[in-house]
Structure formats: structure tokens, C-alpha cells
Amino acid sequence: MTGSQISLLDSGGDGAATVRNAVAQCLDEVRRLGTTAEADTETCGGSLAVIAGIGTTAPRALQGALLLDALAAQHVELADTLPFPDPDALFANESWDLALVLSPWKQEVPGRLAALTDSAARTGVVDTIVRGAGGRAGINTNTWAAQAAMETVLGERIPGSVLILGAGGSSNSVALGCRRAWPGARLIGSARNAEALASWATRFDAEALAPGDLKALRAEEAPALIVNTTTWGETDASEQQPFVFDFQELTAPGNSYFDLNNRVSALQTDALRAGMNVMSGTFMQRVTNACRAALLDARIR
């Protein structure tokens, strides 16, 4: 899977401009769907937005500071938030403008939507749904958000190799971001679930390595960028279990580490001690929410 390069990084190093570039790309994908995500004056609630959500963390995410900050920056006023237990309940309700799709539903929802952006279709992942005149549109904002974060932590460096740990839904979004930013980079994945890893590798023309085989990779050449897409490090409790990967065998001074978890985890600390450039998932989450706020602004106005 190769193609032309699409970079989000601002040439002047302006992080805010990089965020704007990611948002612009996300909005452009939605516009290419035609009228699907345009405002429906019969169902749209005027200038106030109603946001729904499904997933185990939906009630908390709907009240999260990062989402509220993004809405305020876009001058989107929130009328209500509606957490639902599952897609059936979400789709039965017609009062919301935009919905957050969180685990465990990100890979289940795409098959229930007639319209998907290119990123959602290529990854099989939807993290956001917008209701419009033509129906519901499934969007993967995380591909653009993850790419913006990875390009930022690397600066203008082009990595020779990128190692992605984990083979869940987020690994697909990260892989597509890598393929857009650095089409020629060596893309490697590793995960305990061999079947999921093999499917991921085929989808993104990548290499699949079992966790036990990563030591040989380090001996060959340390990956320029390591990305943790697992939930290890998301909570204190998660860190009580052994990490399946020998992380310290993969680190090297001057290389980069990106962790999708917002929390400052033991892995991030270990990477800093190793002299690596480190980024948590906070920047990615801010870009995701900036995309959602911009989508809402386009829908309700």
C-alpha cells in the first residue's frame, strides 16, 4: 500500500497550523461524500449542538475537558450530551448532530453505515458519526490526528522504519497515517493476537513480527518511531501486568516514541530516560476533538 505523500506538518514548525491542516483534510474527506454530511434543516437543532456517544467511556468523554475546549474554540454551543449503550440505541434516536464512537464499537459501526469517508473505509474504523440530509456519515478523525502527532514528534525527519505495537482498531488508524506521511517507510507491527496482526499487515502492506522476534529487529536497526496503540499504560492497573513487548530493547537515543494513551505512563518515562523524543496521546486527542468541533460547526450553521 503506497501512494503520494500527504504531510500535515507546518513548514514553520507551528503546531497550531499543523492542527488546522489535519482538520482541513478531515473536512475535505467529508465534503467529498456530497450532501451526506451537510446540515438538514428539518433535523438540525439550530445553533446549539447535541452530541451523542457510545462506548464504555462515553459518559466521561462527552464531558471531557479536551472536547469542551475544542467546542469553545470553534464557538459551538452545546445543548445536550446523550450517552447510549450501543449502536441500536444510538441509531434509534434522531435528536443528535454528531456522535462519538468509542471502544468497543469502532470496528462494528462501519458495516452499519452507508456512507464512509476514505479514511474510515480504508481502516474499517469509525470514531465519529455526523447526521446529515443524506443520512449518517462515518468518519475516522483519528487517522489525521495520529498522523499530525507522529509528524510533530519527528519534526521534519523521515523515518526509515516505524514500529506499531498492538493490532486493535487504533493500529489501523496509525498505520494509514504513516502510509500517508511516509509512503516509503518500512512499516512493522507486533501484537499478541497473531490473526489480527496478519490481517493488519496485509491491509497496510506491512511486516508482522511476533513480540518475541522484536529483539532481532533492535539488533538490526532500532525503529526510528515506536507507536504504542495498546491500552497498557492507560491506567495504573494496566501497568500491574507485564508488558508483552521488551520495550527497552527497542529504545534508542534520538529516536521517537508516541503513546496513544493520554496518561503519562511508565513507557513514556522509560522512553524519556532512554533519550527519546516522546509524545503522549493528548495532542492526538486535541486534534480529534478539533475535527469534531469543526464538523459540528459546519453542520449546525
Flag the least confident range among 52-66, 107-121, 287-301.
287-301
Residues 128 and 157 in one domain: no
Element (DSSP H or E) covering residue 69: helix 65-73
> What confidence score (pLDDT) does residue 170 get?
96
184 and 240 belong to one structural domain: yes
Residues 83 and 158 in one domain: no
Query: Quick one: 120 and 149 in the same domain?
Result: no
Q: Which pLDDT score is estimated for 279?
A: 97
Residues 20 and 99 in one domain: yes
19 and 128 housed in the same domain: yes
292 confidence band (pLDDT: 50, 70, 90): very high
Q: Tell me the percentage of the chain whose pLDDT exceeds 70.
A: 94
For residue 42, name the pLDDT band (cuts at 50, 70, 90): very low
pLDDT tens for 66-103 read 999 999 999 999 999 999 999 999 999 999 999 999 99
For 69, list phi and psi in degrees, rounded to 5. -60, -45
The residue segments making up the domain with residue 124 are 15-141+284-300
Residue 28 lies in a domain: yes
| Domain assignment present for 186 | yes
177 with 257, same domain?
Answer: yes
Task: Give the pLDDT confidence score for residue 65 in this predicted structure.
Answer: 96
Q: Tell me whether residue 65 is in a domain.
A: yes
What per-residue confidence (pLDDT) applies to 43?
41
pLDDT reported for residue 133: 74
Does some domain include residue 2? no
- 223: closest CA among 192, 190, 261, 272? 190
Q: Is 8 among the domain residues? A: no
Residue type, 167: A
- Alpha helices by DSSP H, 168-281: 169-181, 194-203, 214-220, 266-273
263, three cell numbers: 496518561
CATH of the domain at 252: 3.40.50.720
Selection from 188, 215, 185 nearest residue 201 by Cα: 188
At 134-189, the pLDDT tens digits run 789 999 999 999 999 999 999 999 999 999 999 999 999 999 999 999 999 999 99
- 254 with 164, same domain: the answer is yes
Based on the fold, state whether residues 188 and 236 are members of the same structural domain. Answer: yes
Res 301: pLDDT? 55
The three cell numbers of residue 183 are: 509512503
Burial 131-150 (b: 16+ CB within 10 A, else e): bbeeebbbbbbbbbbbbbbb
**How many domains, in total, are found in the chain?**
2
Residue 153 inside a domain? The answer is yes
For residues 164 and 273, state if they share a domain: yes
Rg (Cα) of the chain, in Å, rounded? Answer: 19
Asked if residue 41 and residue 23 are part of one domain, the reply reads: yes
Q: Is residue 21 in some structural domain? A: yes
User: pLDDT averaged over the chain?
Assistant: 92
Indicate which CATH number applies to the domain containing 56: 3.40.50.10860
Mean pLDDT of 212-224: 86
Q: Considering the domain boundaries, does residue 6 fall inside one?
A: no
Q: Same domain, yes or no, for 148 and 53?
A: no
Looking up cell 514548525 gives: 13
